[in-house]
Amino acid sequence: FQAEDGIRDLVRSRGLGDVYKRQILRINLNEMVERRASSQGKELTDQEIDDIAVVLRRKIDWEPIFNQIDEYL
């Protein structure tokens, strides 16, 4: 299953908590792309930031990240 935000669901969802975590990660990833570009003297449009972040989200293995988050909850 491919979510609209580009994050692949590799395992069955455990509920709204996963949706919340994905939303937080989406926002933070966009911010990281923007900050990295800025540190290199590049100004990107919001659309360019979104496009880069979508590609990155598709490449990231999210399950280990979610497992680590769950350990703290």
Q: Tens of pLDDT along 27-73?
A: 788 899 999 999 999 999 999 999 998 898 888 888 888 888 888 88
pLDDT on residue 1: 43
Rounded to 10 degrees, what is the CA torsion of 38, 28, 49, 36?
A: 20
pLDDT value at residue 7: 52
Provide the sign of the torsion angle of the four alpha carbons 13, 18, 19, 24, taken in this order.
negative
In sign, the C-alpha dihedral spanning 11, 14, 16, 32 is: negative
